[in-house]
Amino acid sequence: MIGTPMTFARLVHADWSIHPRKRWRAEARRGAAGWHVSAPVPVPDSAALLTDLERGAGPVLAGFDFPIGLPAAYARRAGIARFPDWLAGLDAPHWAQALTVCREVGEVSLQRPFYPHAPGGRRVADLVEALGLDGRADLLRACDRGEPGKRQACPLFWTLGANQVGKAAITGWREVVIPALTRGASLWPFDGTLGRLASTGGLTLCETYPAEAYGQIGAPFPPGASKRRQADRARATAGLVARAAKRGTSLSPETLAALGNGFGPAEEGEDPFDALMGLLGMIEVVEGRVPEAPPGRATDPVEGWILGRG
């Protein structure tokens, strides 16, 4: 045990995508004997998802695997002091196009940083120059950087390629984060530690990274293995049932079936797979077995942090 368990009554993890058909969620509810995990299901439309997250008694922690925060170097140049306040002010005239992806590099500005809309001779270096930054590293938050043993993320504002996260961030902010904050939700870590936010009794949103959870929950992928392959998913999770039982976490019959089947033969099985892996990682953090963030990292008002990332 690393820390004190937090008193959340319900945990929800959504594997997000710009394509609604690829959005899946998994849920755990706290009972007298521990957590009970339900099988992943498709995410309903965003409005219905928020309504569901707000219902019921007790504090709720909802994790989403899209960026929640801004690179500090960009924020300094743009005069942004606090990420949630910036989101709340996006209806101001000078921020009206902030979440509209630029088609040409000449459209890029501090008030419109996402680029490019489509391929064709586009370069990250051009985005860096247009924003007046010193280099590619300035497009990354501290939690995005590839520190020893960690994979470096794609820059937030870059919206091209299979690994880009920019468009997922835009849809997540528009459809989930901004409406939730308007309705009174809290945003970790900007509004406080998990312990403090759990004590408020309401809904808290946080950023997750399912691949970070693989090692934390005992589902490692060796070199050459892929979460897109059924057999590799099944091998990676072979010990999860016993591990969950040892920790007092019960898995629904549907969850057990999905694990036993490697989430099916299709590549798309990676989506419900990541929804569940991210949820199990959230349980590790909430139970105090994994720190929510390194010392000092959870207090940044602009960049935020990925839950449980070391």
* Chain segment 37-67, per-residue pLDDT in tens: 999 999 989 999 999 999 878 899 999 999 9
- Domain range summary for the chain, segments of one domain joined by +: 10-67+174-299, 72-164
Torsion of CA 278, 284, 288, 293, to 10 degrees: -40
Q: CATH number for the 10-67+174-299 domain, one of 3.30.230, 3.40.50, 3.30.420, 1.10.3470? A: 3.30.420
List the chain residues with pLDDT less than 50.
none
The CB density around residue 137, as the number of other CB atoms within 10 Å, is 14
pLDDT of residue 148: 66
pLDDT of residue 229: 96
pLDDT of residue 295: 86
Per-residue pLDDT reduced to its tens digit, 259-269? 999 999 999 99
Q: What is the pTM of this model?
A: 0.95
Which residues are registered as beta bridge partners of 14? 25, 64
